[in-house]
Amino acid sequence: MSGLTKPRVSSGVLGLLLVLGLAIGTAPFSAQAGSGTVEKDKDTTKALFEDGIPDDIESWAEDNGATVNAQEERIDYVRFALDSDTEGDEFLDKLRNRSDVTWANYDAFARTTLVPNDPAWPVQYGPRIIDAPEAWNKTTGDDAVRLAVLDTGVDGTHPDLDAPCGLDRGSDSNGHGTHVSGIAAAEIDNGGHIAGMAQIDLESYPVCDNNGRCRISDIALNIVEASASGVDVISMSLGGDCETDDSAFCRGLQEAIDFAWQNNVVVVAASGNDGRERDVSEPGSMDHVVAVGSVDADKNRSSFSNGGFGLDLVAAGEDVRSTVPSTSGVCGPEADLMCNLTGTSMATPHVSGLASLLRSVCPSLANDRVVDVLTDNTEDLGDGGWDRLYGYGLPNADVALTDAESRCDGSL
């Protein structure tokens, strides 16, 4: 598993969104990922350049009816905002006709990967089914380990999250980012609401709007920024599809993930909520990403959980109790700083939290070794070995930490 280079699965028309599937308004995008529907942003384009971003790109953009509003020199990636009177297809043609442009297209949106649910579980079963309480006898985490959550933000004033968030408290008017952050890193033994997987430094990178739409260029830019800053783990409870039959919209995202991998970052993402058995959503299906699907409290695959060759692990994703702001769009006005949500969004931070625990017991463990430990120490739930519905299975946190300690000692 070292390197997590994943085979590509062709299933005809692939959509283009990273679907976060919020239980609130669907915004313009309402089709399921994989339907071929792409939520393009016709006011924004992006491009990858060969051999560096040109020095005159800002003046060139202005001359052609656009403005450079973001660029990332570490992956030669530029985003352009089009003037109100600029026709998008014409500007794209000009970009694509430049000899130094390797790819250009409209920007597009992803979504957070949760689905509508009815709260049913008054207690947390997610940490229990992966033996996290036993693992916590070895470590509950180290605040030197940095976990970056790319989502709708985080309510750092929540009593379970004010310590993990440190000084960078942030805000989250939607609630999805706060929910997944709590699963990964809510404070333990504070007399509060829930126990998070790992007591580490939680860092929020808001890439999704209040409706759960996540601009793909923002995801790529923030992956690079977080990786360059030295984070240990990136968690993305978002997903969708990046291709149609005749166009690609997510170039730059794989380059950003490759940059993270080269900087020794473990990247974890949701498999998606479309119920597909042979097609994991992007970025989970991309190289160097641990894709996480969902199971219920009885360890059965959730009907909505995407599977396929890109799937690596599964974790609790149905009726998962976690933290939300006092006013939360995803849980409604009656939530008392907690609610139950369902989706591969909820499964993902169980694994990114466990990856943070592995880095806590062995800070020198390289990212490919972390992935090996995660996928080698699992409860096999489907067909023997890897299978398309459960991947390598349900991780066992206690056994994984023992394995990480032994590898850190140099015995493996």
Catalogue all structural domains in the chain, each as residue range(s) with its CATH number.
40-108 (3.30.70.80), 112-408 (3.40.50.200)
Position 120 scores a pLDDT of 29
Query: Is 397:140 a contact under the CB 8 Å cutoff?
Result: no
Identify which of 173-187, 236-250, 322-336 has the greatest average pLDDT. 173-187
| Count of Cβ atoms closer than 10 Å to residue 80 Cβ | 30
pLDDT tens digits for range 232-263:
999 999 988 876 655 688 889 999 999 999 99
Identify which of 163-177, 188-202, 322-336 has the greatest average pLDDT. 188-202
Query: Is 287:6 a contact under the CB 8 Å cutoff?
Result: yes
176, 179, 193, 288: the active-site residue = 176
Calculate the average pLDDT of the chain: 86
Confidence of residue 7 (pLDDT cuts 50, 70, 90): very low
Sheet hosting strand 146-151, strand order edge to edge: 201-206, 146-151, 233-236, 266-270, 290-295, 313-316
Position 37 scores a pLDDT of 59
Query: Is 101:251 a contact under the CB 8 Å cutoff?
Result: no
Whether 225 shows a pLDDT value over 70: the answer reads yes
Of 110-114, 228-232, 338-342, 383-387, the poorest mean pLDDT is in: 110-114
Q: What is the mean pLDDT of residues 329-355?
A: 89
84 has catalytic annotation: no
Whether 32 shows a pLDDT value over 70: the answer reads no
Confidence of residue 123 (pLDDT cuts 50, 70, 90): low
Of 205, 253, 260, nearest to 227 by C-alpha is 260
204, 227, 345, 360: the active-site residue = 345
Rounded to whole angstroms, the Cα distance separating 145 from 405 reads 16
Whether 168 shows a pLDDT value over 80: the answer reads no
Q: What is the mean pLDDT of residues 394-402?
A: 97
Of 145-149, 311-315, 328-332, the poorest mean pLDDT is in: 328-332
Of 355, 337, 342, 348, nearest to 315 by C-alpha is 348
151 has catalytic annotation: yes
Percent of the chain with pLDDT over 90: 68
Q: What is the mean pLDDT of residues 376-380?
A: 97
Of 275, 296, 237, nearest to 111 by C-alpha is 237
Query: Is 71:54 a contact under the CB 8 Å cutoff?
Result: no
Element (H, E) at 106: strand 101-112
Rounded to whole angstroms, the Cα distance separating 412 from 408 reads 8
Of 122-126, 321-325, 347-351, 366-370, the poorest mean pLDDT is in: 122-126
pLDDT tens digits for range 214-223:
999 999 999 9
Position 84 scores a pLDDT of 95
Cis, peptide link before residue 333, omega less than 30° from 0: no
Of 76-85, 102-111, 296-305, 395-404, the poorest mean pLDDT is in: 102-111
Rounded to whole angstroms, the Cα distance separating 168 from 18 reads 26
Question: Cα 236 vs. chain centroid, distance in angstroms?
Answer: 1
Whether 368 shows a pLDDT value over 80: the answer reads yes
176 has catalytic annotation: yes
pLDDT tens digits for range 58-96:
999 999 999 999 999 999 999 999 999 999 999 999 999
Rounded to whole angstroms, the Cα distance separating 399 from 405 reads 10
Position 264 scores a pLDDT of 98
41, 107, 131, 151: the active-site residue = 151
